[in-house]
């Protein structure tokens, strides 16, 4: 069973399912689907060996009607314009679901950071930001970390932007604490996934204590999700990433797995505290809760029928295709969508932006308390739409987001 996967088309199909419920006119759909601005730049970089190599970078600003555009920057060999469009669109709906005053954007550079030195990555980041700086700014578009970028990358972003605009820490989020970053930002997305999982289990009658969880991906999102879920009483019975898979029926030692991954370049393959298994079969592992927390387009028509979980919580962006969604629905599996489940990251990015604008900083406990309040409210707002329209959580989340963006657009004018 093959399936052509274009992430932007996939997101727009999800949009249309919600727009059908709202009976949204075609002309309005066209406006709300179409990105406001797309920037593509060539990035010639002098490599450490003296050669000159040209990379390609993108920044897509999807919608800014509810506030400045907001979205991460990813470095990955498979980054292309359609992926960035899709992810920018998802950011518009994600910020609307959690009701924070941002729109949606996304950036990316087509490169393989695992084969680049720190000096090359810094040069690439600075050249990229220099080329797109005219569309960035604290009240215009605020980048953040994403796949293969981190706090150090954001420090370079802030410094490069500041060369032209002066010291403006609110121009980027996900920065080191020493440069105006927020307490709790690194853990925020995983914290939000765990909170959403807890609320979803409660709503669907799945006991959280003792629940068996399988994770795909053990980077920033996956590892913190595992940490917080174990604290809530679940068992992480299997984890897989690009280096391999490891499982243990009575639960992996997550603290030991974290230490092992840090010592082995972020990979879980070869962890001695469990049984090795083929990472490609991660979605077929027996569990109560499945959390894809790596890249997009991984649960498809080809493997959706293999899923044994009662609940899927999307830690990654766009991990499930529309075709897979329909199979999972027919199987009675509840899917909590990315635009709700992983919105804890952008929520705490919002907190960082607010703190930077005020130059007044909060303790981690206050950050997590505020994040929890927003994530719980967002879950129940979406759940209300699910009940009202007898739809999936993904469609319910899109209905909620579309209503908020449409209303804002209507009031501001087309």
Write the DSSP assignment of 80-131 as a string of letters: -HHHHHHHHHHHHHHHHHTT-S-EEEEEEEE--GGGS-HHHHHHHHHHHHHH
In a domain, 361, yes or no: no
* Judgement on whether residues 55 and 152 belong to the same structural domain of the protein: yes
Number of Cβ atoms within 10 Å of the Cβ of 308? 15
CATH of the domain at 337: 3.40.50.720
In a domain, 24, yes or no: no
Of 120, 148, 179, the residue at which a domain comes to its end is: 179
* Judgement on whether residues 50 and 126 belong to the same structural domain of the protein: yes
How many distinct helices (H) and strands (E) make up the chain?
A: 13, 12
* Judgement on whether residues 228 and 127 belong to the same structural domain of the protein: no
* Judgement on whether residues 212 and 337 belong to the same structural domain of the protein: yes
The pTM of the full predicted model, rounded to 2 decimals, is 0.94
Residue 284 backbone phi and psi in degrees, to 5? -95, 0
Of 306, 341, 376, the residue at which a domain comes to its end is: 341
* Judgement on whether residues 120 and 75 belong to the same structural domain of the protein: yes
* Judgement on whether residues 162 and 193 belong to the same structural domain of the protein: no
Would you state the pLDDT for residue 39? 98
Of 121, 155, 179, the residue at which a domain comes to its end is: 179
In a domain, 14, yes or no: no
Calpha distance 69→102 (Å, rounded): 6
In a domain, 365, yes or no: no
* Judgement on whether residues 146 and 247 belong to the same structural domain of the protein: no
Is residue 119 a contact partner of residue 152, using CB atoms and an 8 Å limit? no
In a domain, 158, yes or no: yes
Calpha distance 203→383 (Å, rounded): 8
Length of the chain: 414
- Catalytic (active site) residue 248: no
* Judgement on whether residues 40 and 73 belong to the same structural domain of the protein: yes
In a domain, 374, yes or no: no
- Judged on CB neighbours under 10 Å (0-12, 13-18, 19+), 278 is exposed
**Strand ranges of the sheet holding 141-145, from the earlier edge strand across to the other edge:** 37-46, 52-63, 103-110, 69-76, 141-145
* Judgement on whether residues 233 and 143 belong to the same structural domain of the protein: no
- Give residue 145's domain range: 35-179
Query: 326 is written with which tokens?
Result: 């329909």
Calpha distance 16→402 (Å, rounded): 10
CATH of the domain at 57: 3.40.50.10860
Would you state the pLDDT for residue 3? 63
Strand-strand pairing, 244-247 and 235-241: antiparallel
* Judgement on whether residues 206 and 310 belong to the same structural domain of the protein: yes
Mean pLDDT by 10 residues, the chain (414 residues): 73 95 96 97 98 98 98 96 95 98 98 97 98 98 95 98 96 97 96 98 97 96 97 98 96 97 90 96 98 94 97 96 95 98 98 97 97 98 98 98 97 90
Give residues with Cβ within 8 angstroms of 373, minimum separation 6.
Answer: none
- The residue among 198, 219, 378 whose CA lies nearest residue 288 is 198
In a domain, 54, yes or no: yes
Is residue 229 a contact partner of residue 213, using CB atoms and an 8 Å limit? yes
Indicate the number of domains in the chain: 2
Catalytic option among 106, 175, 227, 385: 106
Give residues with Cβ within 8 angstroms of 231, minimum separation 6.
Answer: none
Q: Sign (positive/negative) of CA torsion 160, 161, 164, 167?
A: negative
In a domain, 69, yes or no: yes
Is residue 68 a contact partner of residue 142, using CB atoms and an 8 Å limit? yes
* Judgement on whether residues 155 and 197 belong to the same structural domain of the protein: no
* Judgement on whether residues 193 and 334 belong to the same structural domain of the protein: yes
């Amino acid at each position: 069973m093959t399936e052509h996967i274009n992430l932007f088309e996939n997101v727009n199909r999800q949009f249309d399912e919600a727009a059908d419920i709202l009976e949204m006119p075609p002309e309005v759909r066209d406006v709300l689907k179409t990105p406001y601005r797309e920037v593509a730049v060539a990035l010639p970089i002098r490599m450490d060996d003296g050669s000159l190599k040209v990379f390609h970078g993108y920044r897509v600003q999807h919608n800014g009607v509810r506030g400045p555009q907001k979205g991460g920057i990813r470095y990955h060999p498979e980054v292309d314009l359609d992926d960035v469009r899709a992810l920018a669109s998802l950011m518009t709906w994600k910020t609307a679901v959690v009701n924070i005053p941002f729109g949606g954007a996304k950036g990316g550079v087509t490169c393989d950071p695992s084969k680049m030195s720190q000096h090359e990555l810094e040069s690439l980041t600075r050249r990229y930001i220099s080329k797109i700086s005219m569309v960035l700014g604290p009240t215009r578009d605020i980048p953040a970390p994403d796949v293969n970028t981190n706090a150090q990358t954001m420090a370079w972003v802030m410094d490069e932007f500041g060369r032209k605009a002066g010291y403006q820490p609110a121009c980027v989020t996900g920065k080191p604490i020493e440069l105006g970053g927020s307490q709790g930002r690194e853990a925020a997305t995983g914290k939000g996934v765990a909170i959403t999982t807890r609320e979803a289990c409660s709503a669907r009658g799945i006991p959280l204590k003792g629940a068996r969880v399988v994770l795909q991906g053990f980077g920033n999102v996956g590892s913190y999700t595992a940490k917080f879920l174990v604290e809530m009483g679940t068992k992480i019975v299997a984890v897989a990433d690009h280096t391999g898979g490891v499982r243990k029926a009575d639960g992996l030692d997550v603290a030991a797995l974290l230490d092992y991954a840090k010592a082995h370049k972020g990979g879980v393959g070869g962890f001695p505290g469990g049984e090795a298994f083929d990472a490609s079969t991660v979605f077929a592992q027996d569990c109560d809760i499945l959390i894809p927390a790596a890249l997009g387009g991984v649960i498809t028509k080809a493997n959706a029928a293999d899923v044994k979980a009662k609940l899927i919580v999307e830690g990654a962006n766009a991990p499930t295709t529309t075709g897979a969604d329909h199979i999972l629905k027919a199987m009675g599996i509840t899917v909590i969508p990315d635009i709700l489940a992983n919105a804890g990251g952008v929520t705490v990015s919002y907190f960082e932006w607010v703190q930077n604008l005020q130059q007044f900083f909060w303790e981690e406990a206050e950050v997590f308390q505020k994040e929890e309040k927003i994530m719980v409210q967002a879950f129940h707002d979406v759940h209300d739409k699910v009940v009202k329209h007898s739809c999936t959580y993904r469609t319910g989340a899109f209905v909620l987001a579309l209503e908020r963006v449409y209303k804002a657009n209507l009031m501001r004018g087309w």
